[in-house]
Amino acid sequence: MARMHASFTPRLAAALLALPLAACDLPTLDAPPAPTEHVTPVRVAEVGRADTARELRLPGVVRAVRRAEPAFLHSGHLAERFVARGERVAAGQRLASLRNPALAPSLAAAEARVRELDERLLQAEADFERARELHARGLASAELLDRTLAERNATRQARVQAQARVTEAREQFADAVLRAPFDAVVSDLLVEPGDFVAAGQPVLVLAGENELEVVLQLPEGMAQRLLPDSPVEVRAVASGARVRGQLREIGVARAGRPAPAVVVLEAPGPDWEPGLSVHVGVTESSPPALTVPLGAVLDPGTGQTRVFRVADGRAEAVPIAAGRLVGARVEVRGALEAGELVVIAGHQQLLDGEAVRILP
């Protein structure tokens, strides 16, 4: 029995010494892995730069450079018209006459007033000469001499004023007949004989024959991007005939009305005449603009249009203002530069600063 105890003890000790070594071979539990960052796959395209020069065809109407709508200075009834539509007239030729019962009596009264003052002036001159002779002989006072001198001078001034009224009345009477201010063609007749005509109301329309121009209306904001004396091409709508021109005048837009512009035609042919409908080719130029694909532009409904720019593996939201379309791209204004990458696919749920992976 004692022998068994002695043999057991060394074996038990060896077994106990082996336990720590065996424990080292037991499997251990791994530590929880670190969370991985979500990376969104996207497709990108470069920000481009486009030349914004473009040609627009604007409708216009040919008209004469020299044109007029003669009118009477006084009201009355159109007594007679001496021309017809389409008739060529020379400068100074009679066009129409006005009947105003007040014009002739006014002239007659003014002339009668001048004749009356002529008689009074003769008497005043005689009175002054008589008073001067008597004063020189000591038979008249200085007061009488001064009074007759003042009456003579006042009569002279009154006659000058009366003569001015005669001149005015004669001009008004002469204005009762309209005359052509230059060589022209009668484009239209606006009043018929017997009709009442107000002072300043146009009676007919005159158009010169030598020089022609085109008047057109510019779209909003285009007047600021055009330069005077720019060459343009003008094409007749009906015949297709083309002629060169120059943009001479650019007006300013008013409330509810576009800006007017005038193009002077260079050597138009015989078929070109006032009233012809044309198209004017106008080249609109402005500094080059940045463009992005249309699919890169996002508008979440808040009115803040934006694109996502990719830099250093992350997406950055950049506010922009979108302009006109240029093919499949759109002009934009914002903190972008040509050559930068913007997301064109995969950005529906993309967040600002989110990591992205660019797909080939």
Q: What's the pLDDT tens digit per position in 263-297?
A: 999 888 888 888 889 999 877 666 678 999 998 99
Phi-psi region of 229 (alpha: psi -120 to 50; beta: other; left: phi over 0): left
| Angstrom distances, CA of residue 287 to CA of 229, 275, 334 | 20, 36, 15
For residue 32, what pLDDT band results from cuts at 50, 70 and 90?
low
Say what the pLDDT of residue 24 is. Answer: 46
* Cut 0.75: pTM above it: no
Is the pLDDT at 28 greater than 60? The verdict is no
**How does strand 67-68 pair with strand 204-207?**
antiparallel
Question: What's the first-to-final CA gap in the chain, in angstroms?
Answer: 85
Q: Measuring CA to CA, which residue among 144, 44, 98, 57 is closest to residue 346?
A: 44
pLDDT value for 30: 55
Say yes or no to pLDDT of 309 above 90: yes
Nearest to 68 by CA among 226, 197, 178, 196: 178
Is 1 or 272 the better-scoring residue by pLDDT?
272
Domain 41-52+288-358 has CATH 3.40.50.720: no
Higher-confidence residue of 265 and 254: namely 265
Average pLDDT over residues 83-93: 91
Q: Is the pLDDT of residue 258 over 90?
A: no
Instruction: Check residue 284 and give its pLDDT.
Output: 67
Q: What pLDDT shows up at residue 51?
A: 67
CB atoms within 10 A of CB 226: 17
Mean pLDDT of the chain: 83
Query: Can you give the pLDDT at residue 287?
Result: 67
pLDDT grade, residue 21 (50/70/90)?
Answer: very low
> Of the candidates 210, 180, 178, 162, which has an alpha carbon nearest to the alpha carbon of residue 64?
210
How many CA atoms lie within 13 Å of 284's alpha carbon, on the beta-carbon side? 15
Question: What pLDDT is recorded for position 285?
Answer: 63
Cα distance between residue 253 and residue 351, in whole Å = 44
Range from 35-39, 95-99, 137-141 that averages highest in pLDDT: 95-99
Percent of the residues in the chain that have a pLDDT greater than 70, as a whole number: 85
Architecture per CATH, 72-97+176-202: Beta Barrel (2.40)
pLDDT of residue 84: 93
pLDDT confidence of residue 271:
82
Answer yes or no: CATH 3.40.50.11390 is held by domain 56-64+210-284: no
pLDDT at 145: 86
CA-CA-CA-CA dihedral for 281, 282, 286, 289, to nearest 10? -30
**Picking from 129-143, 144-158, 196-210, 273-287, which range would have the lowest pLDDT averaged per residue?**
273-287
Determine the pLDDT at residue 209. Answer: 78
